[in-house]
């Protein structure tokens, strides 16, 4: 997803004029051990960044992509809020991004999370 498309998606004025879109949720299942996708094959640095993520960091990234807040992740996963914040920060550093939004966009661009059309959670 390009930066322009991310900005347009975040702009409420663009959303109001855009055609209605289906609500897409994200499976909590993270693609692990899959062959590199076309995006990863073109981006060896991105592939290296993905490999540095632990299993729990991949799971947490999937929850973020699913729209979960830090507080909800902490409650559902029986972690302290401080632990969740620390793990999110570790993900941001490992992926070389500056925000959770960028991390989620990176995850979608590199097929770390799978979109799902059936209202999961």
Q: Which two tokens stand for residue 78?
A: 């029986």
List the beta strands (DSSP E) in the chain.
25-30, 113-116
Domain 3-116 is of which CATH architecture?
3-Layer(aba) Sandwich (3.40)
Measured in Å, how far apart are the chain's first and last C-alpha atoms? 24
pLDDT of residue 30: 40
pLDDT of residue 49: 86
Residue 80, CB half-sphere, CA atoms under 13 Å: how many?
A: 3
89/73 Cα distance (integer angstroms): 14
pLDDT tens for 64-95 read 999 999 999 999 999 999 999 999 999 999 99
Q: Can you tell me the mean pLDDT for 35-59?
A: 74
Given pLDDT bands bounded at 50, 70 and 90, which one contains residue 44? confident
* DSSP bridge partners of 115: 26
Q: Can you tell me the mean pLDDT for 24-46?
A: 48
Q: Which two tokens stand for residue 34?
A: 């899959």
Please give the residue that has the higher pLDDT: either 55 or 33: 55
Q: Can you tell me the mean pLDDT for 22-51?
A: 53
């Amino acid at each position: 997803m390009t930066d322009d498309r991310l900005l347009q998606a975040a702009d409420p004025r663009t959303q109001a004029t855009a055609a209605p879109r289906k609500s897409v949720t994200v499976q909590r299942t993270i693609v692990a051990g899959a062959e590199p996708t076309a995006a990863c094959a073109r981006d060896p640095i991105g592939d290296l960044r993905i490999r540095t993520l632990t299993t729990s960091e991949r799971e947490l990234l999937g929850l973020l992509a699913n729209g979960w807040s830090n507080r909800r992740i902490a409650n559902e996963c029986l972690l302290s809020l401080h632990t969740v914040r620390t793990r999110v920060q570790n993900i941001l550093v490992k992926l070389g991004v500056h925000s959770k939004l960028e991390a989620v966009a990176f995850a979608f661009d590199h097929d770390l999370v799978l979109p799902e059309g059936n209202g999961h959670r």
